[in-house]
Structure 1
Amino acid sequence: MAVNAAERSAMDRALQLATRGPRGANPQVGAVILSPDGTVLAEGWHQGAGTPHAEVDALSKLAPGDARGATAVVTLEPCNHTGRTGPCAVALIEAGVARVVYALDDPGAESGGGAERLRAAGVDVDSGEQADAAHALIDGWLTAQRLGRPHITVKWAQSLDGRAAAADGSSQWITGPAARADVHHRRAEADAIVVGTGTVLADDPALTARDGDALLSHQPVPVVIGSRPTPTDAAVHRHPHSPLFYDTHDLHAVTADLHARGIQRVFVEGGPTLASAFIQAGLADRVLAYIAPVLLGGDKLALGDIGVASIDHARRLTIDEWVPLGPDLLAVARPAAPTDPQNQNEGAA
């Protein structure tokens, strides 16, 4: 049975409803229940871990029997497992829903399979409606599900000769205003911003995402890694979110804990030591290198030891984009796949 105009309109609405839910350990999902003639009977969305899923939230607004013969339009395949809440597929079946239209398959090994369960119960199921829009909405959650940890961006600014600071340690500002504004908008796309204690003690950063002096609407949670204590009057304590502190150098343990907290996207901005540690640990899914047309010389390198003993072990990258930012240039890159031509060893030019 083809998706009709009322169901397409309901999917538009379900996607809007999904955005009301928080980004976190669970995906943002919206649902609309339609009568057989296409009238909207109820709406719902997932409001966070431990709360009813979108389908159940919508069904809860109907009297018993009101959903019999109805169509449920959902942005994600109804789940098929019991966690903090019961399976949504079962709830729809028990409510008498006759048809389900959803956008994306649930990728979970345990939670997936709801469509099959619905069909086995005689419910008509149609999938893939506005899948691209639904994917864009929960891309961070899907990536975290695939990786088993947050997606990690490692950012640094450098001179043309690869330095992060002058010989005396001064580094403000290597790049210009356009590059710095770009950094702040990319911070706002992340769920957490990570620095080391060295950066906190040396620069006392606010770790906020700003447009000029104004805070942007979304703020990443500040994360500080390292054993040295952070002063009680440090700017990070005035952040809109309470900072997280990790007295460890085990980055895998840190990212595992962030994942458990529902953090989907991490922005690493902690200076050469921390950036190098994340790259050496294989915890860099994307690199943002802001390159300024300035020469500094000296030994204040933008990256330190990343475990490359010879050119054969070089960490090859695939450039996704070169972005001009005033006089500066941003390289947006990711680790090259083993089969990527850029990952093949090349002789000296």
Structure 2
Amino acid sequence: MELYTHYMRMALSLAERGTGWTSPNPRVGCVIFDEKEERVLGWGYHRRFGGPHAEVKALERAGERARGATAVVNLEPCCHFGKTPPCAPRLVEAGVGRVVVGMRDPNPCVDGGGIEILRKAGIDVVLGVLEEECLHVNRGFVKALTGGRPWVTVKAALSLDGAIALGDGESRWISGALSRSKAHLLRGENDAILVGIGTVLKDDPELTVRLVSGQSPLRVVLDSRLRTPACAKVIGDGRCLVVGTAESDPKRAETLRKAGAEVVLLDAPEGRFRLDELLSLLVRRGVLRLLVEGGASVIQSFIEERLVDEVSLFLAPKFLGRGIPFTGNLRLRHMGEAIALRAATIRQVDGDLWLEAMPCLPA
């Protein structure tokens, strides 16, 4: 099993190379190796949506050497036709002797079907190697299929006293240059990035990936009155979705559409967006991972509606005094309602601390 763990880590590392490019498909890596010689014969990963799958690329590299070898893949090989032919039959045709699978594919089109094809062909299947790590790599894919919405990460830079800006809204810059580069990496890992209209009007952000290489995500602006300027940088190359309400001014909607933005109108009872409806809309458009960057009232809404799966916080060694708090006007009645964090990792980034964790939000 230790040998399989080693090669599964290699497969997971390969899968990560597809980050930001594969949605709505999962991230998959595959390694084919000779168990006796402990030698890699072929490897591959799913590079982008619509392209060859990891198993196919690994089999191409291994060639005839794949016969009798062991294939290690972090997600169950598919068994249905999509953009490309299914992978499980390809492994059977190649004559591999064993397939080590990290986790079953929750897609109803697969869900054990790939494993069944392999076993019926007499191929030994080992299931569940590094399953938790495999689930984490494809947490957006799993959340979309099992929860009907994207995996939501809240990202913010804040002071030690919990502020994301001064009282007048000034926030440039709380964190250091290296932290901001890491934040751009996060953008590249997500399929969409969301902010409120206040952030657009105050900062006129681009919300693109610039400080590192990577694909810029879809930009989403919550704007109940369609106040986004037609010249706003966030509209940029046109990959911008402005979310208004049924009461929004049709002329403003048309102006934004002519500027290159897409405008959708959602119900907003009592002036509040139904975030669950918005997330359902995004997942139908292939968004598996959503990065929420603020401002404070938007973050507060996601927390209150129990829609935050992960937080990524850059803590700067500064005090801002009476600034704008990270969680907005969130009010808790007693300590039992405090939001604990689990699976936390803390890294030093120059003078800042980078905290990544998953909140335990009560039902």
Q: TM-score, normalised by structure 1?
A: 0.70
Q: Counterpart amino acid of 2:280? A: A
Distance (Å, rounded) in 2 between the aligned partners of 1:169 and 1:3: 52
More displaced 10-residue stretch of structure 1: 315-324 or 53-62 = 53-62
Q: Where in structure 2 are the equivalents of 1:236-251 lying within 5 Å?
A: 236-238=234-236, 242-247=239-244, 248=266, 249-251=273-275
Shift of 1:261: 3.1
In structure 2, the CA distance between the partners of 1:187 and 1:109, relative to structure 1 (3 Å rule), is closer
Structure 2 contact 197–223 (Cα < 8 Å) conserved: yes
Structure 1 contact 72–97 (Cα < 8 Å) conserved: no
Match in the other structure for 2:248 = none
Shift of 1:281: 1.3
Shift of 1:252: 1.5
Task: Indicate yes or no: 2:232 matched with 1:234.
Answer: yes
- Name the larger-Rg structure: 1
Q: Where in structure 2 are the equivalents of 1:90-105 lying within 5 Å?
A: 90=89, 92-93=91-92, 95=93, 97=95, 99-105=97-103
In structure 2, the CA distance between the partners of 1:69 and 1:246, relative to structure 1 (3 Å rule), is same
Distance (Å, rounded) in 1 between the aligned partners of 2:353 and 2:287: 29
Match in the other structure for 2:334 = 311
Distance (Å, rounded) in 2 between the aligned partners of 1:18 and 1:318: 25
Match in the other structure for 1:205 = 205
Distance (Å, rounded) in 1 between the aligned partners of 2:150 and 2:328: 24
In structure 2, the CA distance between the partners of 1:4 and 1:158, relative to structure 1 (3 Å rule), is closer
In structure 2, the CA distance between the partners of 1:127 and 1:291, relative to structure 1 (3 Å rule), is same
Q: What 5-or-longer segments of structure 1 have no aligned partner?
A: 339-349
Match in the other structure for 2:322 = 297
Structure 1 contact 70–97 (Cα < 8 Å) conserved: yes
Match in the other structure for 2:77 = 78
Match in the other structure for 1:156 = 156
1:107-132 CA deviation, whole Å, 9 max, x = no partner?
31631222233223333334567878
* Counterpart among 215, 220, 223 of residue 223 in structure 1: 220
In structure 2, the CA distance between the partners of 1:10 and 1:272, relative to structure 1 (3 Å rule), is closer
Distance (Å, rounded) in 1 between the aligned partners of 2:359 and 2:29: 34
Distance (Å, rounded) in 1 between the aligned partners of 2:351 and 2:13: 39
User: Percent same amino acid among aligned pairs?
Assistant: 34
Structure 1 contact 11–74 (Cα < 8 Å) conserved: no
Match in the other structure for 1:342 = none
In structure 2, the CA distance between the partners of 1:124 and 1:132, relative to structure 1 (3 Å rule), is same
Distance (Å, rounded) in 2 between the aligned partners of 1:256 and 1:192: 13
Q: What 5-or-longer segments of structure 2 have no aligned partner?
A: 245-265, 267-272
* Count of residue pairs brought into register by the alignment: 328
Match in the other structure for 1:273 = 297
Match in the other structure for 2:173 = 173
RMSD, aligned CA? 4.5
Partner SS, residue 276 of structure 2? helix
Q: TM-score, normalised by structure 2?
A: 0.68
Shift of 1:50: 5.6
Q: Counterpart amino acid of 1:294? A: F
More displaced 10-residue stretch of structure 1: 9-18 or 199-208 = 9-18
Distance (Å, rounded) in 2 between the aligned partners of 1:42 and 1:316: 45
Distance (Å, rounded) in 2 between the aligned partners of 1:178 and 1:61: 38
Distance (Å, rounded) in 2 between the aligned partners of 1:10 and 1:198: 44
Task: Indicate yes or no: 2:27 matched with 1:25.
Answer: no
